[in-house]
Amino acid sequence: MSMQISGARLLDPASGLDQNADLFIDGGKVVAIGQAPLGFNPRQLIDASGLIAAPGLVDLSVALREPGYGRKGSIASETLAAAAGGVTSLCCPPQTRPVLDTPAVAELILDRAQQAGHAKVFPIGALSKGLAGEQLAELVALRDAGCVAFGDGLYSFQNSRTLRRALEYAATFDLTVVFHAQDHDLAEGGLAHEGATASFLGLPGIPESAETVALARQLLLVEQSGVRAHFSCISSARGAEMIAQAQARGLPVSADVALYQLILTDEALADFSSLYHVQPPLRSRRDREGLREAVRQGVIGSIASHHQPHEHDAKLAPFGATEPGISSVELLLPLALTLVQDGLLDLPSLLSRLTCGPAQALRLPAGRLAVGAPADILLFAEQASTLAGEQWFSKGQNCPFLGHCLPGRVRYTLLDGRISYQA
Amino acid sequence: MHLPNPSQLLPQMAAALRLHLQQRGIDQARFIGIHTGGVWVAQALLAELGLSQPLGTLDVSFYRDDFTQHGLHPQVRPSALPFDIEGQHLVLIDDVLMSGRTVRAALNELFDYGRPASVSLVCLLDLNAHELPIRPDVVGASLSLAANQRVKLSGPTPLSLELQTLADRELPQ
Amino acid sequence: MTPIDAKRPLQLNENGQLRHFLSLDGLPRELLTELLDTADSFLEVGARAVKKVPLLRGKTVCNVFFENSTRTRTTFELAAQRLSADVISLNVSTSSTSKGETLFDTLRNLEAMAADMFVVRHADSGAAHFIAEHVCPQVAIINAGDGRHAHPTQGMLDMLTIRRHKGSFENLSVAIVGDILHSRVARSNMLALRTLGCPDIRVIAPQTLLPVGLEQYGVRVFTSLSEGLRDVDVVIMLRLQKERMQGGLLPSEGEFFRLYGLTEQRLALAKPDALVMHPGPINRGVEIESAVADGPQSVILNQVTYGIAVRMAVLSMCMSGQAAQRQLNQDAGEHN
């Protein structure tokens, strides 16, 4: 179906494009910018004057909860939530039930995502069978089934020798490994960042060193094996510095941060609200500053929602007995725009961390607004606002931002030239 | 409305109490005042009677039946009975008798200390607003007030009475 | 971005009276003083032949202990009984949770039995807050210890002990010795002492037993017992749990006693009339030697007596604060 989007300000951070021009779409792709192709006769016209057209957002971590956790979310519900947040491409972590360690699970996820049609899903496969950190999963078979990268989540490969071999195997086939840097022993039993707030509340702490010790070990093995690596959900300033140093030494490493880590700190825990229970934990103001700086400099090239929807009961217990995670993918754009509002980033830089940055990190065919690229497009009003929770598609209500008035509003999300969400 | 001067009521109260005890054949009585006004009246009454015996004091806050409506008085003073009340004749003294609930609470509290032989009740003022079958044996003066009026005793020396008018919202439902 | 559910005084009613007793954080000095005054009055009741007053007659107090503690549970039971309340005590650790019932459901069931007050002990920090906020806001919740977070009635009974023996807090030096890291008693004591105006609060422990961020309590940190004890007026010893020997926090009980155990010799460094306190149960020969625990400066048993009075004060103040709040809600309802 052909479409003309007229009057929008086009912003493509990958190419530096920033101009008011019309967009012409046909066959699911952008066919022209500015001047209509000869004989172009759009079947659909979107008047986008006053709106910004950007590549659809790319989110490196959205837990879909399917298969296995139907009470928390489904592929249909969570991809629709993502579309409402301006997302067109997303990666889902392998913590499903059964674990995403066989091609069958990957195929199931991709089939259901296709059926739902709200967003493109790129699964991240398990690095080890059952995420147990002992035996390698069939990485090549998983790649052939559609997995774009491999990771084990927070606790994996306690044995350094096994980890080294896993990385070397992945390097052989030029696969990307996704790390969550948290040392199992240093973090064990911990519930919150080890700092004044956790001490005051009597919550067992997770020290900064839980991240940095794991990161040091992982970086050294990445260097030795030469594997392509992405570090997910960096939470400390010191951790971000270590990534910067590794990049400066020419290591092929990228990193992302959870959007909520750029907004919240551990001080939010003061009332024991389980909505702020996340892993790795919310850290100090100093850490938030360091993370913001790393995002500004591009050391951290991606901002992800780290969306983790939960059923009501999962958060209805004393802090330590609740499950960690925040449901926020459907606020990705407006929440991210608070960073622009607060003067931390300009709009093109922010969009780069939400589009081409993550797409490059995991080599996804997404995140660009250019002739010939898929017409995955986000149209939003920068000056309008979003009342968080006014509508809610995710099954997880576990979002501390509900009720807030946030800047910007998604008007259209287009997936392959088709409207997947409209407000 | 004209309120009596407490010091003028005391000689007549002392005489009435002496007569009351005499009629009952009580020659040794123990005196107990209810915090705070009742203690002041009791002290003045003991002086009027020329007695120097120790005075018991009661704070009935822990015994009130309106605790869940009005809450606990923050400054509860300890009750102190410097004598054994078992088998004794007691004279219980309060400043103003209104509903009778304070006296009811005081009697309850007293019986937690022991079983007295008798209890006589002395009040400076009786406001004729009884909600319980409790009447003073000796009273200084009797008067009736409007629903929004209260009497407050100040002391300990000199004792004086003051009329207060409550705002509507302070009136009991 | 400020969280929308930013801090509000969960444990106070609209008039600023206690309606739950969860933590000493955020309670003003006047309120703590009122609590101590009320406890003083209840101490006198404890000295009577009939140790019972009818204040909570007809009310049901439910002790729900998810963690075992004979002593704390007993003093709460006694406090409630002396106020004439009906008391039920449940050791939930051994009953419903092993059948998979959640904390939420356990308490909702008890609430349905028309309990007016829950006294709760739980191994999770913040459990009492959770119950007061999400489970049964209309029932007064008394925190009898939650994880490492708070043990506010213990904190206040320690304050009553200090005030009755030292008169006030204005010129005192108080040392808290031992496992500060895992101690809810230490946290409640530090908060109470600061609120009540104690100018010199010291904590004494090896680094493995000290939490980070102690400066927020306004305390001075010592790692040497003899330096920290110098000229103090009060020494509060903490209980050392046996499991602390595992995981590298301490080498042995023997070495801990050698370095941080309170002996007569060490106590001599404190002021001659210094008080020795301990929340109990004591480990003789681990954190304190018998000669000190049973010695003339020890007020460890007085603490137990004062504990009942403090708990009577807390129970009655919270019950009255909840009643007042219900009245306020009712009045507001009538006006709408």
Checking ipTM against 0.85, whether it exceeds it is yes
Binning pLDDT at 50, 70 and 90, where does residue C335 land?
low
Residues A91 and A141 in one domain: yes
Token pair 């963690």 is found at C67
Q: Answer whether residue A9 is part of any domain.
A: yes
Q: Where in chain C is the domain with CATH 3.40.50.1370?
A: 29-151+307-325, 152-303
Distance CA C39, CA A323 (A): 41
Find where tokens 């939530």 sit: A81
Q: Which phi and psi (to 5°) does residue A420 adopt?
A: -100, -20
Please tell me the total count of domains within chain A.
2
Confidence of residue C114 (pLDDT cuts 50, 70, 90): confident
Q: What confidence category does residue B173 fall into, taking pLDDT thresholds of 50, 70 and 90?
A: very low
Q: Does domain C152-303 have CATH number 3.40.50.1370?
A: yes
Domain membership of residue A366 (yes or no) is no
Quick check: helix, strand or coil at residue C330?
helix
Q: Nearest chain B Cα to C322, which residue?
A: B68
| Distances, alpha carbon A80 to alpha carbons A73, A115, A119, in Å | 11, 12, 7
CA distances from A390 to A88, A119, A401, A402, A413 (A): 21, 22, 12, 8, 18
Fold type of domain C29-151+307-325:
Rossmann fold (3.40.50)
How far apart, in Å, are the Cα atoms of A73 and each of A279, A307, B125, C27? 19, 11, 74, 41
Q: Is B69 on the interface with C (CB under 8 A)?
A: yes
Domain boundary among the residues A310, A328, A361 is at A361
Q: Is A169 domain-assigned? A: yes
Directed axis angle between helix A237-248 and helix A285-297, to 10°? 30
> Subunits that touch chain B (at least 3 Cβ pairs < 8 angstroms)?
C
Interface residue of A186, A194, A200, A206 to substitute, partner C, most C CBs within 10 Å: A200
Q: Note whether A257 and A303 are within 8 A (CB).
A: yes
Any B CB within 8 A of C48 CB:
yes
**Per residue in C71-100, pLDDT tens?**
899 999 999 999 999 999 988 765 555 556
Q: Does residue C119 sit in helix, strand or coil?
A: strand
User: Shortest Cα distance from B50 to chain C (angstroms)?
Assistant: 30
Test B63 with C55 for CB contact under 8 angstroms. yes
Residues annotated in a binding site of C: 71-72, 99, 121, 151, 154, 184, 239, 280-281
Q: Tell me whether C104 touches chain A (CB under 8 Å).
A: yes
Angle of helix C152-166 relative to helix C184-195, nearest 10 degrees, comes to 50
Would you give the end-to-end CA distance of chain B in angstroms? 25
Among the partner residues C48, C52, C55, nearest to B67 by beta-carbon distance: C55
Please provide the distance, in angstroms rounded to a whole number, between the alpha carbons at the two ends of chain C. Answer: 34
Structural tokens at position C47? 């000295």
So what's the pLDDT on residue A267?
A: 96
* B67: nearest CB among C49, C52, C320: C320
Q: Which residues contact B140 (CB under 8 A, 6 or more apart)?
A: B4, B6, B9, B10, B12, B13, B123, B124, B125
What DSSP string runs through C147-211? TTTB-HHHHHHHHHHHHHHHS-STT-EEEEES--TT-HHHHHHHHHHHHTT-SEEEEE--GGG--
What pLDDT is recorded for position C46? 84
Picking from B71, B79, B80, the nearest residue to C324 by CB comes out as: B71
Choices 3.90.1570.10, 3.40.50.2020, 3.40.50.300, 1.10.3720.10: CATH for B6-68+76-170? 3.40.50.2020
A351 φ/ψ angles, rounded to the nearest 5 degrees = -65, -30
Quote the CA–CA distance of A320 and C26 in Å, as a whole number.
23
Residues A254 and A385 in one domain: no
Whole-number pLDDT of residue B147: 82
Question: By residue range, what is the domain housing residue A321?
Answer: 56-361
A130 close to C (CB below 8 A): no
pLDDT over 70 percentage in chain C: 95
Q: Confirm or reject contact between C134 and chain A (CB < 8 A).
A: yes
State residue C47's pLDDT score. Answer: 82
Degrees to nearest 5, angle at CA C27 with C22 and C30:
135
Residue C4, pLDDT score: 47
Is residue A94 located within the same domain as residue A225?
yes
Pick C68 or A79 by higher pLDDT.
A79
Residue of B nearest to C320 (CA): B71
Whether residues C317 and B109 touch (CB distance < 8 A) is answered with: no
Cα gap A41→A3, rounded to integer Å: 8
- Output the average pLDDT for chain C: 91
Q: What are the mean pLDDT values of chain A's consecutive 10-residue runs (423 residues total)?
A: 95 97 96 94 95 98 97 98 98 97 98 98 97 95 98 86 96 98 95 97 97 97 97 98 97 97 96 96 98 98 98 94 97 98 96 98 97 97 96 97 97 97 95
The closest of A186, A167, A175 to A149, measured between CA atoms, is A175
DSSP B82-145: SS--TT-EEEEEEEEESSSHHHHHHHHHHHHH---SEEEEEEEEE-S--SSS---SEEEEE---
Cis status of the peptide bond prior to A365, with omega within 30 of 0: no
Helix or strand (DSSP H, E) at B15: helix B6-24
CB C310 within 8 A of CB C334: no
A and B adjacent (3 or more CB pairs under 8 angstroms): no
What digits encode the pLDDT tens for the residues C135-186?
Answer: 888 899 999 999 999 999 999 999 999 999 999 999 999 999 999 999 999 9
pLDDT at residue number B116:
95
Domain-embedded: residue A368: no
Q: What is the reported pLDDT for C316? A: 94
Chain C residue numbers touching B79 (CB-CB < 8 A): 44
Task: List the chains bordering chain C where 3 or more Cβ pairs fall under 8 Å.
Answer: A, B
- The partner residues of A421 in beta bridges, in order of sequence, read A413
Residues C54, C312 contacting (CB under 8 angstroms): no
At C8 the pLDDT is 58
* Among A145-149, B61-65, B148-152, C38-42, the least confident range: B61-65
Residues A326/A308, Cβ–Cβ less than 8 Å: yes
Q: Show Cβ contacts of residue B57 under 8 Å, excluding neighbours closer than 6 positions.
A: B32, B33, B34, B35, B39, B77, B79, B80, B81
In this structure, the number of other CB atoms found within 10 A of the CB of residue A379 comes to 23
Q: Residue C6 above 50 pLDDT?
A: no
